[in-house]
Structure 1
Amino acid sequence: MRCIFCKNDSSKSRSVEHIIPESLGNTTSILPKGVVCDACNNYFARKVEKPFLEAPALMSLRFHQAIPNKRSLIPPISGMLSPGFPVTAYRYTKRPFVGMIDVPSDAVEHIFQNDGGRLILPIGGQPPSDKIISRFLAKAAVETMAQRLLDTSGGIDYIVDRPELDPIRDHARRGNIPDWPHHSRRIYDMNETWIDEFGSEVQMVHESDILQTAWGEYFFVLAIFGLELVINYGGSEIEGYRRWLLENNGDSPLHIGKNKVNSRLRRATS
């Protein structure tokens, strides 16, 4: 077996690969050992996923949506207790909101003297850099294609041997293409709820698909809490996706045709 990124022998690799990180709620989209070698797996964790997940916008999202990391911990965020005391807020997976707040000693005195203070926590923040987002998408794009071909005889070798995929795999693994653009837009609110087949309200943490256009381009489409991110498999341009959107009334490929509201869900507000 060869790694789908570096193409080196990966038959002795011991790591499974999460296409979307566990810290974004992924427990099912996982590639078995050897599809991505241990060296590439470790590299992505340190150089691509870590800066993506630790950007302030993602830290805020993970806190407010109560998404635990591998150790079942929700990342804390920094906030403010009026009239201006810096605080750190923590959440716990089994509690509805803030579990604990670290406050400086002078803030404690203020709270007792003034009957409390207003807790202000940020929503949003600085997103990851465009290059980190692009490399994150490139990694997930190649891995999603590999996942599609896992049960096909010779499918992983097909991914490894396709020269057309060399630029996007190299961009993910080495970041050697300075400007590989992606398309970004919000397709529904991050707090949107949906009704599943059992009648329960759920949130869409992440969803993805591969779009093939009528003119032969392939795009990887990923939505994280309603933020749709798209990258072109074939090269560093995104105009083909904008063209597809114009021809499809701006609908997301994640929610039309075979993917209409995930085939199982409907909006709780509809």
Structure 2
Amino acid sequence: MRCIFCRIESSGSRSVEHILPESLGNSKLVLPKGVVCDKCNNYFAKAVEKPFLEADAVRQMRFHEGLPSKKGRVPSIIGLLDPDVPVQLFRDAKDGSLSAAVPTEHFSRLAARPEGRLLMPMGGALPSGAVLSRFLAKVAAESMAARLIHDAGLLEQFIDDPQLDPLRNHARRGQPMDWSVHVRRIYSSNARTLGADGSWRQVMHESDFLVTPGQEIYFAQAIFGVEFAINIGGPDVDGYLAWLDANNQASPLYAPKNLELYEMPAKP
């Protein structure tokens, strides 16, 4: 077995690879040991996944959805006690309860108020630039490998395919530096779908590949309603924009499948 990124012999690797980080609620999209070697696995966790997870919008999303890290902690965020007292907000990973830490220099102002409103940020800047594109390139390459994992011959072809080297190199080494990603929200973060067993399920993440009429391959990944699309073969998304225009801006994730999405009721 060889690593799909660096191509070294990886049969002795001891770590499975999560295509999406566990910190985004992923427990099932996992590649077996050795598909990504331990060295690349550790590198991605520190240099590619962590910057993405620490982006304001992702950190706030993880806080509001109560998504813990591998260590079982939901990330904290900074809120305000109306109008201008900053507080650090914490969410318990087990029961979802909230707590707040107030800087000592604001104790007297807080004590002087009989009541006040707690304001929590709901937006924040989405990841951009190389932080986003390297993360998505990594997820795209691993998602392709996941489709080939049961055919050793096809997986070997995938590993040796020079046409995928730019994608691999961008994910693993940040080269080339610039790689465009198309980003848009396609449904609410609280969207849900009806499962085969009749139960409602929140759409946490979903992905698929799109082959355009120009024979370009794009990978689309939605995370809590935000769709990210990347060109597998090169650093532009012109073909994806053309496909969107020709298909009334429909998402390749669900337009062919007629996935019905509904708003989840507000959390109490």
Q: Does 1:141 align with 2:140?
A: yes
- Aligned pairs, number: 264
Q: How is 1:170-181 mapped onto 2 (pairs within 5 angstroms)? A: 170-181=169-180
Q: Give CA-to-partner distance per residue, 1:186-239, whole Å, 9 cap, x none.
A: 101112233333443321111101111222111110001110000001111111
> What stretches of structure 1 of length at least 5 have no aligned partner?
none
The CA deviation string for residues 139-166 of structure 1, in whole angstroms up to 9 with x for no partner, is 0111000000001131321111111101
Match runs of 1:176-187 below 5 Å: 176-187=175-186
SS in 1 for 2:95: coil
Cα RMSD, aligned residues only: 1.7
Q: Give the alignment of 1:71-82 within 5 angstroms.
A: 71-82=71-82
Work out the percentage of aligned pairs sharing the same amino acid.
49
Deviation at 1:33, TM superposition (A): 0.5
Query: Could you tell me how far apart the structure 1 residues matched to 2:114 and 2:201 are?
Result: 38
Distance 2:233 2:104 in 1: 56
CA contact 2:166–2:175 (8 Å) conserved in 1:
no
CA distance in 1, matches of 2:103, 2:139: 41
Offset of 1:56 from its aligned partner? 1.3
Q: Which amino acid aligns with 2:61?
A: L
* Distance (whole Å) between structure 1 residues aligned to residue 60 and residue 8 of structure 2: 37
Report if aligned partners of 2:79, 2:119 keep a CA contact under 8 Å in 1: yes
**CA distance in structure 1 between the aligned counterparts of 2:43 and 2:52, rounded to whole angstroms:** 13
User: What is the identity, as a one-letter code, of the residue corresponding to 2:171?
Assistant: A
Q: Distance between the aligned counterparts of 1:60 and 1:183, measured in 2?
A: 21
Contact 2:191 2:261 in 1 (8 A): no
1:109–1:200 CA distance, 2 compared to 1 (3 A): farther
Between the aligned partners of 1:247 and 1:86, the Cα distance in structure 2 is 47
Aligned pairs (5 A) from 1:79-158: 79-98=79-98, 100-105=99-104, 107-158=106-157
1 CA distance for matches of 2:199 and 2:85? Answer: 40
2:37 alignment partner AA: C
Unaligned runs of at least 5 residues, structure 2: none
Q: Which residue of 2 aligns with 1:229?
A: 228
Residue equivalent to 1:54: 54
Aligned to 1:40: 40
TM-score w.r.t. the length of structure 2 is 0.93
The AA in structure 2 aligned to 1:43 is Y
- Structure 1 distance, partners of 2:120, 2:263, is 27
Matched, 1:188 2:187: yes
Q: How far apart, CA to CA, are the structure 1 residues paired with 2:251 and 2:12?
A: 40
Deviation at 1:107, TM superposition (A): 4.2
The SS at the match of 2:80 is strand
1-structure distance, mates of 2:105, 2:230: 49
Contact 1:195 1:268 in 2 (8 A): no
**SS of residue paired to 2:219:** strand
Q: Tell me how far apart the structure 2 counterparts of residues 107 and 194 of structure 1 sit (CA, whole Å).
A: 45
Distance 1:266 1:86 in 2: 37
- TM-score, normalising length: structure 1: 0.92
Match of 1:163 in 2: 162
Q: How does 1:256-267 map to 2 (within 5 A)?
A: 256-257=255-256, 259-261=257-259, 266-267=261-262
